[in-house]
Amino acid sequence: MSLTNIYDDIYANPRNHVDSFKFDEEVVQVFTDMIARSVPGYMLTLPLIGLLGSQYAQPNSKVYDLGCSLGAVSLSLQPQVTPDCTIMAVDNSSAMIEKCRQVVKNEVGKAPIELVEADIRSIPIRDASVVVLNFTLQFIAPDQRAELIQTIYDGLRPGGALILSEKVAFEDAAQNGRFTNLHHNFKRANGYSDLEISQKRTAIENVLIADSVPQHQARLTEAGFSSAEVWFQALNFMSIFALK
Ligand code: GEK
C-alpha cells in the first residue's frame, strides 16, 4: 500500500484558540504532505539517509529509526542494509504507528522492520550500528536531550553512526530572524497562507524547541562521539552525521 498524500489544510481556517500541536489522527492523515511542504530538504534527506546508513550498518546489528512517523526512514534503509539487520521503528503516537503498520512491508530477503509504539526516552538501545533521529529530538524536552543522546551512544557498536536531523536556531538573533523569514517564505511558496503559517507557529512554538548547530555538536561530543559533522543543510534545517 502506498501513502495517500492528503493535502494539509489543518490550519486553513481561523481558530479562536490554537491548541498545542499533537501527532494525532488528524495530523497523521496529512502528515506526508505536511512534512514535505514544511521541512526544506526533507524529501532529499530520505534517500541520502538510506545511502549513509547503509555504509555504517553492520551485519547482525540493529538499526533504529527513532520517531519513525510513517516509516519513511525505515523504508529508505530497508533495501540498503543487509537482510540480517533488524530495523527498529519507534514512535509514541499510536495514530502514527497504526498508519505506519499499513505502509511498512516486510519481504523475504530484506531486513525486517519491527514497529514499536513507545517513548524513545524509555526504550533500550542495544547492539545498534545505525541510529536515525530524523526531526525527532526537537520534540524532546531540552533538559532530557543529553540523556537520550548518551543512551544512543552507549547502545551503538564501535564504528556505529547516529544521523541527527533537526530544525536549528541561530545564536545571533538577527540571523535567526532572517532564517525564520526564509522558512516562512518557503512555506508560502509551497501553498501555505499567512494564516496557516501563523496558526501552525502558535501550535508548535512550545512543542518544537530548536537548538543551534554548536549546541548539538557539543552534546554529541560530550556523549563521546568522535566526530559530528553537518552533512546536509537547507535553510534552518540540517542533518548531522556523528560517529562512535
Ligand atoms: C520521518 N522521522 O518521516 N517518543 C517517540 N516518538 C516521538 C516522541 C517520543 N518521545 N516525541 C515525538 N515523537 C520522521 C519524521 S516527525 C517530525 C519525524 C516532524 C514522534 C512523533 O510522534 C512524530 O511521529 C515524530 O516523532 C516527529 O523521517 O513532524 O517535524
What is the reported pLDDT for 3? 53
The alpha carbon of 67 and the centre of ligand 1 are apart by a number of angstroms equal to: 4
Q: Cβ distance 167 to 236 under 8 Å? A: yes
**Which residue minimizes the CA distance to atom 10 of ligand 1?**
119
For the Cβ of 89 lying below 6 angstroms from any atom of ligand 1, the answer is no
Q: Please tell me the pTM assigned to this model.
A: 0.96
What is the reported pLDDT for 4? 60
Q: How many CA atoms lie within 13 A of 125 on its CB side?
A: 29
Residue with cell 498524500: 5
Q: What would the pLDDT profile of 60-116 be if each residue is shown by its tens digit?
A: 999 999 999 999 999 999 999 999 999 999 999 999 999 999 999 888 899 999 999
**Which residue minimizes the CA distance to atom 11 of ligand 1?**
139
Mark out the alpha helices in 193-240 (DSSP H runs).
Answer: 194-204, 213-223
Q: What would the pLDDT profile of 196-239 be if each residue is shown by its tens digit?
A: 999 999 999 999 999 999 999 999 999 999 999 999 999 999 99
The alpha carbon of 81 and the centre of ligand 1 are apart by a number of angstroms equal to: 22
